[in-house]
Amino acid sequence: MELIEICYQDEDVMVCVKPPRVLSTDEPGGLPELLRIQLSDPGADLRTVHRLDRVVGGLMVLARSPQAASELSRQVREGLFRKTYWAVLHGVPDRNADTLEDLLGRDKARKMTYVATAPGKGIQPASLSYELLGRNGDSSLVRIQLHTGRTHQIRVQLASRGFPLWGERKYSTLDDPCEIALFSQEIGFLHPGTGKEMTFSHVPPSGFPWSGFQQP
């Protein structure tokens, strides 16, 4: 098993880089279980307080006590938990920076999110901001700040505008030879024990399709 990079840990939290194709939740093969195996500590208290899609890699924080989990979960609910992603898109947006707002619904039978045309039962507002970091031919590298946390939000909002992510299998018909190019690049939160503001960032994967971009 490939070692999971641990960026920071103390008695309250652990910050690590989730590999793609690993579940965020505490179940067989999930991130907490893999960390317990890596640490040779089957009883380690590691609690998921936010999630990344299974196919998405990048920074996550895990709570190491019930009290820490409660406080971090509160920050997530109240919008105090900051999440920034980098992504590689097919196509180049017209604007170098913009805020995208949609109404999103969830097709539970197909396990897919969709853009709704009107409010209704189960329809929720979704908002994100992006900044164009670079372009490489007909592809673009963007930084994304989430303002809401809907399932598959980034993937759906961008694909619906004609900019599917490289490696997207669910919301694109393109057959890209790579994992999905979406990475949790930065997270920020208040330490559940001390109240200190903490920010962690990490470079995205190297190589295709993340390389070769020029500033716009």
Q: How far is CA 111 from the centre of its chain?
A: 18
Catalytic (active site) residue 53: yes
Catalytic residue among 10, 26, 45, 53: 53
Strands 6-9 vs 13-18: parallel, antiparallel or unpaired:
antiparallel
Per-residue burial over 98-119, b = 16 or more CB atoms within 10 Å of its CB, e = otherwise? eebebbbbbeeeeeebbebeee
d(CA 172, CA 166): 9
* Beta pairing, strands 82-90 & 139-146: antiparallel
What residues are annotated to the active site? 53
